[in-house]
């Protein structure tokens, strides 16, 4: 029988042997649908808000102002503290919000996984795409703060997409891993905000990293993945220096390892999502 060129390709994870590999092919095949899902998530996130997507820019500004008033005098960084903090703040907001939205999206859509022909990772990837768009928009208020506090824009900003790619890779992997868990243990969605809040405070976002060096020899920095991503992005945007080769290597290794683990766990367990 001659196969029509216009024949619709149907994705069915039950019929493939190497699910994790086939999932990558399916994501590429349904890439146009991914774009539509990103648009849907953006609209859904702000549809009940009067200011809409402007909150993406207003939220980090408001938080930065509050934290600057409270903490700048303690760290002796009054003139440049707003620029220092907003660089880490928008980076952390991208990470934490993407994780939380991934959990909620997976919980709401878990009953659809075995009912529609769609790459299993589509919902989490669409959340990541929306998070990246929000992150890029939040760079606008960051640039404004840099201008006001007279922090220069350095040529190293050209390497920022590489740092963002590493962070996005890590975030996607962790989002997939936790999204798998939340289907089987919904309480993860309740614990996640608490864990992320604690993680925020042990990551040098509102204070210099040097303050942790005297605590167990900086152990909490060394074992904190987000420390490396925050450091890389802050080096590029705020400090104007190229991160060390070791920082790049650690960031790359953590990002790839987390993506491989998260992708494999999610795709191998997603067939059971509709039955939980």
Burial class (CB within 10 angstroms; exposed 0-12, middle 13-18, buried 19+) of 60: buried
pTM of this prediction? 0.84
Domain ranges across the chain? 19-267
Confidence of residue 87 (pLDDT cuts 50, 70, 90): very high
Q: Which two tokens stand for residue 76?
A: 């002796």
Q: For the segment 27-70, what is each residue's pLDDT rounded down to a tens digit?
A: 788 778 778 878 777 776 666 655 556 666 677 777 777 777 66
- DSSP string of 154-190, one letter each residue: PGGGGGHHHHHHHHHHHHHHHHHHHHHHHHH-TTHHH
Report for 11-15, 67-71, 111-115, 167-171: range of highest mean pLDDT? 167-171
pLDDT reported for residue 276: 52
Contact by Cβ (8 Å): 128, 98? yes
Distances from the Cα of 72 to the Cαs of 54, 85, 86, in angstroms? 26, 10, 12
Among 177, 231, 184, smallest CA distance to 203 is for 231
**How many angstroms separate the Cα of 195 from the Cα of each of 100, 190, 191, 215, 267?**
11, 10, 6, 21, 25
């Amino acid at each position: 029988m001659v196969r029509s060129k216009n024949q619709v390709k149907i994705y069915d994870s039950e019929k493939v042997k190497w699910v994790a590999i086939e999932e990558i092919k399916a994501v590429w095949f349904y890439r146009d649908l991914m774009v539509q899902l990103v648009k849907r998530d953006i609209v859904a996130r702000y549809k009940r808000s009067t200011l809409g997507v402007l909150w993406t820019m207003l939220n980090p500004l408001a938080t930065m102002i509050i934290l600057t008033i409270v903490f700048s005098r303690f760290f002796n960084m009054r003139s440049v503290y707003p620029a220092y903090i907003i660089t880490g703040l928008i980076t952390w907001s991208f990470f934490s919000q993407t994780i939380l939205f991934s959990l909620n999206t997976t919980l709401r859509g878990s009953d659809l996984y075995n009912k529609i022909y769609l790459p299993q990772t589509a919902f989490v990837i669409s959340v990541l795409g929306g998070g990246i768009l929000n992150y890029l928009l939040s760079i606008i208020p960051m640039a404004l703060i840099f201008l006001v506090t007279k922090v220069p824009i350095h040529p190293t900003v050209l390497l920022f997409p590489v740092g963002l790619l590493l962070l996005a890779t890590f975030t996607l992997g962790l989002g997939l891993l936790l999204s798998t868990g939340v289907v089987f243990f919904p309480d993860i969605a309740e614990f996640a905000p608490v864990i992320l809040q604690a993680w925020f405070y042990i990551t040098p976002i509102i204070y210099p990293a040097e303050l942790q060096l005297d605590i167990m020899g900086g152990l909490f920095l060394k074992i904190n993945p987000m420390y490396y991503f925050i450091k890389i992005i802050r080096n590029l945007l705020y400090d104007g220096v190229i991160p060390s080769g070791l920082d790049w290597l650690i960031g790359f290794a953590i990002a790839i390892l987390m993506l491989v683990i998260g992708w494999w766990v999610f795709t191998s367990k997603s067939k059971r999502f509709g039955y939980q």
